[in-house]
Amino acid sequence: MKRFADFARRLWSKLKRSAPKRERSARPTPRGPVPASPAFPVPVPAVKKPKYEVRFYHGDYKVRQHKANQDGADIYIEHHFNSSFHESADYSLVVVGKKAGEKTIEIAYRYLTELRRAVGIQAWEGGRLGIAVGGMQGRGNYNLKFTKMPALLLEPLFISNPARADFVATIAGRETLARVLVDTVREAYPTGGLIAFSVGHKYKTSASMDRGAPINCDEIEGGLPGWEADLAEDVLQRAKRILEAKK
């Protein structure tokens, strides 16, 4: 057995030696100037376009919030317009939940700041920097209290104020409000996210006719009904279009 093994080894080495050497594959010689290349690869940071998805939530306020939680939304925004018996009432306001964290407060403040810059409207003088934490005497807190993410209830202006009503009645005015909201979202979530929108008053199961307060002007550009909820919905739809635009 040993002799056979020796024989096999010798035969194998003989065969290996006599086998023709394989030609090295010819590489094409680069012609012309050799392109300058860095000595080591320079890492290029991947510029990823932020991606936003906007979903509208319907049903009673509590149901909407639970649905947004289930979907893992990054932020929840409910849009209203304010109204008062005093036509002169004129300020912007954001309601946040009673247990709102710092991030929520920051986003609310950013929205009000942007609103002042773009529309020239002052924030409410009460609360914390124009923010009603836990609602106006509790009003509005329920609309946000079940959310697990930053949640805001927007009252950008009074539609009972004739000058502000005229502004919201124009398409340009509603587009401006949409852009203020979009800028706020983009700044708070620069890499994108799932954005939950809720139209105040509208689409409630328990009060399907509710549309909120009436606007204090006769004509609305774009053929919208003159109610708070329809105007708010239009602003949110515009914001959705801008956020989800592919460009």
Binding residues (CB under 5 A) for Zn ion: these are: 80, 200, 212
Query: With left for phi above 0 and alpha for psi between -120 and 50, is residue 201 left, alpha or beta?
Result: left
The residue sitting closest to Zn ion, measured at its beta carbon, is 80
CB of 155: closest distance to Zn ion in angstroms?
7
CB of 228: closest distance to Zn ion in angstroms? 5
For Zn ion, give the closer residue by CB, 204 or 240: 204
Note whether 182 and 122 are within 8 A (CB): no
Minimum Å gap between C-beta 80 and Zn ion is: 3
Give the nearer residue to Zn ion in terms of CB position, either 64 or 80.
80
Of 189 and 236, CB closest to Zn ion:
236
Contacting residues for 137 by C-beta, under 8 A, at least 6 apart: none
CB of 97 to Zn ion, least distance (A): 16
Cα distance between residue 190 and residue 17, in whole Å: 65
Looking up tokens 């983009």 gives 186
Q: How far is CA 215 from CA 5, 120, 155, in A?
A: 102, 20, 14
**Which CB atom, from 97 or from 200, has the smaller least distance to Zn ion?**
200
Tell me whether residue 95 or residue 220 sits nearer to Zn ion (CB atom). Answer: 95
Radius of gyration, CA atoms only, the chain: 32
Q: What is the closest distance, in whole angstroms, from the C-beta atom of residue 221 to Zn ion in the complex? A: 21
Alpha-carbon distances, residue 16 vs 2, 8, 12, 124, 139 (angstroms): 21, 12, 6, 91, 90
Q: Give the integer Cα–Cα distance in Å for 110 and 133.
A: 15
Nearer to Zn ion by Cβ, of 212 and 226: the residue is 212
Backbone angles phi, psi at 229, to 5 degrees: -65, -40
CB of 143 to Zn ion, least distance (A): 9
Q: Which is nearer to Zn ion, 140 or 193 (CB)?
A: 140
96, burial (CB in 10 Å: exposed 0-12, middle 13-18, buried 19+): buried
The least distance separating Zn ion from the CB of residue 154, rounded to whole angstroms, comes to 10
Report which residue type is found at 42. Answer: V
